[in-house]
Amino acid sequence: MSKLTEIFGSNVFNDAVMRERLPKTTYKAIKKTIDDGLSLDPSIADIVAEAMMNWAVDKGATHFTHWFQPLTSITAEKHDSFISPTSDGNIILEFSGKELIKGEPDASSFPSGGIRDTSEARGYTAWDCTSPAFIKDGTLCIPTAFCAYNGEALDKKTPLLRSMEALSIQALRVLKLLGNTSTKRVITTVGPEQEYFLIDKKLYDQRNDLLFTGRTLFGAMPPKGQELDDHYFGVLKDKVSVFMKEVDEELWKLGILAKTKHNEVAPAQHELAPIFTTTNIATDHNQLTMEIMKKVALRNNMVCLLHEKPFAGINGSGKHNNWSMATDDGINLLEPGHTPHDNEIFLVFLTAVIKAVDEYAELLRVAAANPGNDHRLGANEAPPAIISIFVGDQLQDILEQLENGNATSSKSTSKLKIGVTTLPPLPKDATDRNRTSPFAFTGNKFEFRMVPSSASIAAPNFTLNTIVAETLCQVAERLEKATDITVEVQNILTETVKNHKRVIYNGNGYSDEWITEAKRRGLPNIKTTVESIKALIDEKNLALMEKHAVLSRVEMQSRYEISLENYTKVVNIEALTTIQIAKREILPAAIKFATKMAESINTIYSTGSGADTSVQTDLLLEVSALTASLKKNILILEESVTKTASLQVDPYEQAYTYRFDVFEKMSLVRAAADRLETLVDKALWPFPTYGDLLFKL
Ligand code: ADP
Ligand code: MG
């Protein structure tokens, strides 16, 4: 066995380990739960728990934890050791089925958005056996869902699991009606491509903005940015290469299918992509990936920045959420095949996605919203905030045929000709890449590209699962009533294309024409996180989530409040950090520089030499004017934060004021400070510049 196959999954309580360590009947019972989505037989929990503990202890673990994903941007864990005292003063190792299935973390310090008062601190974690347990830092980690005393979800996993069930139910209905009787379950799959920056730890430590907010709040553009396109896919620096290798190994041990790594567009930016798996496991794996990237970076004296926009003026980071649906017997329902025009199942599922994205664009938008992403979506960087779908030439042609009746042909995707006889002919993909589309069909999956780099991918995926469950449900209802299924399928396809073609756009999503055109088509263009959050309490969306039992009205309301509170807190921290750095670091540096100029002028003057002091005078005047403007803008910002923080208004209005008052005023402070950076002596500047951070690794 090669080293790689040996380490892969070595820290995971996976299928092979279970088969080896569990009695046959127990193994079969748990497999049924995992593979067929049946409920768990509690009587087997004790046996599984013991096997799990023994396996973990054999691997050096001493503790276990219920690992969960509260409504923050991180995962949570509380460690308990396996030890239990005996009467003779010794210990035995114990881990019961009860401890495996259920945990009771004091939940009062996690956000609940009013679901749970602090006085009712009880929260429960429940074992999710569909995502395998693993060992991390000597602790057996058990993936769990997290809920309140009355069962309301306080986490990201619960709605995701619910949405997978919802989609499976509706997809099965449709498949049966279309003649597929062999499929027992439909799963949703995702492969998230993770972007990130790596910077030097010593430089990072000198920047309080990075420390407190994850992004730079100051920084003039260096002479060189990303304009030469010399970083994308470029040769890896040794340090980066070592980092990536270590990350890969750590991820492989956890059974994470880390596959592709490369340099990204911006200097110091990189990407890691795994091979896709079910949406639930992929979501857990992505959380672990982010955690491990941060840890391994630190080990190598670097810091991994996952923020969506660490540097103004330089490309930010996102996650490309590659999503599809597959049957338990291995058919990708979004695989067009060679002649998509007569692939009925593909067309039904494809158009169901198109309709879902058009009808629930606002929900998808909020699923990709966080404060960091506001610097990307709809701002100076793409993808735009408008949700549209790219389908490519071949499907565009088929959809146009469908709009007018039957689709009778598929444009061929012939071989690519490179014009060199020694090179092999390459099969041409059905779609070219359109990097400007927020939701692109890329061969046999949709790539949702708005997803924030630092956030969990749970929300984008449970949203996708649920909105598509709904449109599939509508298809099923019509087909169940139809006398002639074939005719009705045709009607549905034609109608769906007619009614929803407005969401399809194959052109340049970054262009101004598209903004105008999208407006004409009536597509929403929601530019800010705060505004997007409204969708969480929109009646249409509440009804949808309730109908498919993914999130109740109370749970949606709580997420609405948590999202607003989170936005408010993030901008408040950013504003306070801006003020502190400007006052205590930048102002003193500017004054020092101005003093130096004044001293120089005085010295020269006192020599009576008559030497020219005009340069010093110009600099002194310019720096003094900017310093005054900086001071004035700090005061304006301070006033705005103080006022906004104490506003007695509903959470929406407060968040809105943070966005359109506090946030705007932060940029005034920054503008003056960044201009000062270009004038003040580099030796006096209080922290590393963009040039240092981006190019000196
Ligand atoms: P790209 O052309 O975008 O580089 P890749 O084939 O490299 O496409 O895939 C990008 C990501 O999409 C990978 O994480 C891959 O595993 C994932 N992916 C591929 N097929 C599917 C699918 N059917 N469902 C979900 N994700 C998929
Ligand atoms: Mg891609």
Report how far ligand 1's centroid is from the alpha carbon of 385 (Å).
23
How high does pLDDT run on average in the chain? 92
**Rounded to the nearest whole angstrom, what is the distance from the C-alpha of residue 447 to the centroid of ligand 1?**
8
Distance from Cα 608 to the centre of ligand 1, integer Å: 74
Same domain flag for 531 and 646 = no
Ligand 2: centre distance to CA 318 (Å):
11
The per-residue pLDDT for range 201-233, each reduced to its tens digit, is: 999 999 999 999 999 999 999 887 777 777 777
Any atom of ligand 1 within 6 Å of the Cβ of 191: yes
DSSP 8-class letter at 374 = G
Q: Check whether residue 98 and residue 205 sit in a common domain.
A: no
Whether residue 557 lies inside any domain: the answer is no
In a domain, 198, yes or no: yes
pLDDT average, residue stretch 568-574 = 98
421 — pLDDT class (breaks 50, 70, 90): low
* Residues 6+ positions from 675 with CB-CB distance below 8 Å: 220, 626
Judged against a pLDDT cut of 60, whether residue 400 lies above it is answered with yes
Answer with the one of 154, 189, 211 that is the final residue of a domain. 154
Look at residues 255, 595, 568, 532 and name the one whose alpha carbon lies nearest to residue 367: 532
How remote is the CA of residue 345 from the centroid of ligand 1, in Å?
21
Residue 59 in this model has a pLDDT that exceeds 80: yes
Query: CA 672, CA 587: separation in Å to the nearest integer?
Result: 11
Q: Note whether residue 596 is domain-resident.
A: yes
Ligand 1 binding pocket includes 434 (Cβ within 6 Å): no
Tell whether 559 is covered by a domain.
Answer: no
pLDDT for 223 equals: 81
| Of 18-27, 428-437, 479-488, 686-695, minimum mean pLDDT range | 428-437
Torsion of CA 536, 539, 543, 544, to 10 degrees: -50
Q: How confident is the model at residue 111 (pLDDT cuts 50, 70, 90)?
A: confident
> How many residues can be counted in the chain?
697
**Confidence class for position 428, pLDDT limits 50, 70, 90:** low
Mutation test of ligand 1: which of 186, 195, 322, 444 has the most ligand atoms closer than 8 Å to its C-beta?
A: 322
Ligand 1 close to Cβ of residue 316 (< 6 A): no
- Domain boundary among the residues 98, 126, 154 is at 154
Predicted pLDDT of residue 402: 94
* 336 touches ligand 1 (CB under 6 Å): no
Same domain, 179 and 147: no
The last residue of a domain, from among 98, 119, 154: 154
Residue 395 and residue 313 share a domain: yes
Long-range contacts of 545-548 (CB under 8 A, 24+ apart): 545/466, 547/470, 548/162, 548/163, 548/166, 548/466, 548/469, 548/470, 548/473
User: Same domain, yes or no, for 145 and 179?
Assistant: no
Residue showing tokens 């692109």: 440
Atom of ligand 1 nearest to the CA of 334: 23
Distance 322 CA to ligand 2 centre (A): 7
71 vs 625 pLDDT, higher one: 625
Structural tokens at position 31: 């497999």
CA of residue 271 to ligand 1 center, whole Å? 14
* Residue 274, ligand 1, Cβ within 6 A: yes
Among the atoms of ligand 1, which is closest to the Cα of residue 326?
23
Residue 140 in 3-state DSSP? strand
Shortest-distance atom of ligand 1 to CA 323: 25
Distance CA 357, CA 479 (A): 21
Mutate to test the pocket of ligand 1, among 445, 449, 461 (most ligand atoms within 8 A of CB): 445
Q: How far is the CA of 189 from the centre of ligand 1 (A)?
A: 10
Closest residue by CA, ligand 1 atom 1: 442
Is the CB of residue 275 below 6 angstroms from any atom belonging to ligand 1? yes
| Residues 200, 230 within the same domain | yes
Instruction: Using alpha carbons, select from 697, 566, 674, 654 the residue that is nearest to residue 219.
Output: 674
Contact assessment for residue 596 and residue 590, using Cβ atoms and an 8 Å cutoff: no
d(CA 62, CA 93): 9
Residue 260 Cα: closest atom of ligand 1 = 7
Give the closest residue to 381 by CA, choosing from 510, 555, 556.
Answer: 510
Residue 669 sits in a domain whose CATH number is 1.20.120.1560
Q: What is the CATH number of the domain that holds 144?
A: 3.10.20.70
Q: Give the pLDDT of residue 433.
A: 65
Neighbour tally for 414: CB within 10 Å: 9
Q: Helix 392-403 vs helix 485-500: angle between axes, to the nearest 10 degrees?
A: 110
Q: How far is the CA of 191 from the centre of ligand 1 (A)?
A: 6
Residue range 358-376: mean pLDDT, rounded: 96
pLDDT tens digits along 535-560: 999 999 999 999 999 999 999 999 99
**3-state DSSP assignment of residue 182:** coil
Find the helix packing angle between 553-581 and 539-547, rounded to 10°: 120
Question: Mean pLDDT lowest for which of 43-52, 352-361, 467-476, 653-662?
Answer: 43-52
Taking the alpha carbons at both ends of the chain, their separation in whole angstroms is 37
The two three-digit tokens of residue 570, written as one number: 């993030």
The pLDDT value recorded for residue 253 is 97
Statement to judge: residues 410 and 426 lie in one domain: yes
| pLDDT at res. 43 | 83
Contacts for 641 with CB less than 8 Å, ≥ 6 apart: 572, 575, 576, 579, 662
Beta carbons of 42 and 101 less than 8 angstroms apart: yes
Q: How far is the CA of 282 from the centre of ligand 1 (A)?
A: 12
User: 14: domain range?
Assistant: 3-154
The reply to whether 219 falls in a domain is: yes
- Kind and range of the H or E run holding 124: strand 123-127
Stretch 112-121: mean pLDDT: 65
Instruction: Give the pLDDT mean for 23-51.
Output: 88
The number of folded domains in the chain is 3
**Side chain identity at 669, as an amino acid letter?**
V
* 279 close to ligand 1 (CB < 6 Angstrom): no
Q: Could you give the percent of the chain with pLDDT greater than 90?
A: 80
361 and 500 share one domain: yes
CA distance 232 to 596: 42
E strands of 422-520, at which residues?
426-427, 439-441, 446-452
Per-residue pLDDT, 417: 58
Domain-embedded: residue 619: yes
Question: Cβ contacts of residue 94 below 8 Å, gap of 6+?
Answer: 53, 82, 83, 84
Q: Which residue has the higher pLDDT, 238 or 325?
A: 325
- 445, part of any domain: yes
Query: Is the CB of residue 281 below 6 angstroms from any atom belonging to ligand 1?
Result: no
**Is 689 found in the same domain as 544?**
no
Same domain as 547, residue 616: no
Q: Would you tell me how many other CB atoms lie within 10 Å of the CB of residue 190?
A: 27
| pLDDT exceeds 80 at position 418 | no
Count CB-CB contacts under 10 A for residue 502. Answer: 15
Q: Which string of DSSP letters, residue by residue, matches 310-331?
A: SSTTS---EEEEEEEEEETTS-
Given a cut of 60, whether residue 524 has pLDDT beyond it is yes
Asked whether residue 561 is assigned to any structural domain, the reply reads no
Among residues 461, 687, 459, 452, the alpha carbon closest in space to that of 570 is found at 452
Interatomic CA distance for residues 123 and 154, integer angstroms: 8
At residue 426, the pLDDT reads 59
Residue 150 — very low, low, confident or very high, per pLDDT cuts 50/70/90? confident
Q: How far apart are CA 163 and CA 356, in angstroms?
A: 14
Domain harbouring 180, CATH code: 3.30.590.10
Say what percent of the chain tops pLDDT 70: 96
Q: Which of 272, 275, 276 to mutate to test the pocket of ligand 1 (most atoms within 8 A of CB)?
A: 276
Q: Quick one: pLDDT band at residue 187, thresholds 50, 70, 90?
A: very high
The encoded tokens of residue 694 equal 């981006």
Q: Looking at the structure, do residues 141 and 176 belong to the same domain, yes or no?
A: no
Q: Does residue 331's CB lie within 6 angstroms of at least one atom of ligand 1? A: no
Helix count and strand count (H, E) for the chain:
24, 19
Question: SS3 string of 470-505?
Answer: HHHHHHHHHHHHCCCHHHHHHHHHHHHHHHHHHHEC
Band the pLDDT of 425: cuts 50, 70, 90: low
Q: How confident is the model at residue 634 (pLDDT cuts 50, 70, 90)?
A: very high
Ligand number with the minimum distance to the CA of 260:
1
- Same domain? For 200 and 102 the reply is no
193 alpha carbon – ligand 2 mean position (Å): 7
Residue 548 beta carbon below 6 angstroms from any ligand 1 atom: no
